[in-house]
Amino acid sequence: MINGNRSPHGVLIVEDDQLLMALTAGIVEDAGFEAIQAGNADQAVAILKARSDIALLLTDVDMPGSMDGVKLAHAVRDRWPPIKIIVVSSRVPDRDLPAGSRFFRKPYHAGTMILEMRSLLGRELELQP
């Protein structure tokens, strides 16, 4: 956190499993960022169009809707190039991810994810108390 306040950076989490969404939101908030939730790519795109404070997309690969997480990652890279991207899945995607994106295989370690988010967003790498 910056000066005891939550970071102005939003992290858009795209996950269709509600339990995993809750766990991931907790990790994002532990990292000091605002967790913004979407259940599929269509909801994510609507949020991205409406908000200018999204700094990072954290998306699962497999989900319902008009596109999966890999296609969403490419769409975000094309339309909102400054947004950092982390893709997660229980299996390695069979397609290339956008340049500069990161991949984490589920289950991932929360501390490692926090460090990666902070690194991508240029934050200090010290863990919160």
Location of structure tokens 């939003």 = 10
The string of pLDDT tens digits covering residues 67-96 is 999 999 999 999 999 999 999 999 888 889
**CATH number for the domain whose boundaries are 10-52+60-119:** 3.40.50.2300
Q: Which pLDDT score is estimated for 124?
A: 41
Q: Which pLDDT score is estimated for 8?
A: 61
Given a contact cutoff of 8 angstroms between Cβ atoms, the answer to whether 65 and 42 are in contact is yes
Domain boundaries, the chain: 10-52+60-119
Q: Are strands 10-14 and 54-60 parallel, antiparallel or unpaired?
A: parallel
The string of pLDDT tens digits covering residues 22-59 is 999 999 999 999 999 999 999 999 999 999 999 999 99
- What is the pTM assigned to this prediction? 0.88
Given a contact cutoff of 8 angstroms between Cβ atoms, the answer to whether 20 and 46 are in contact is no
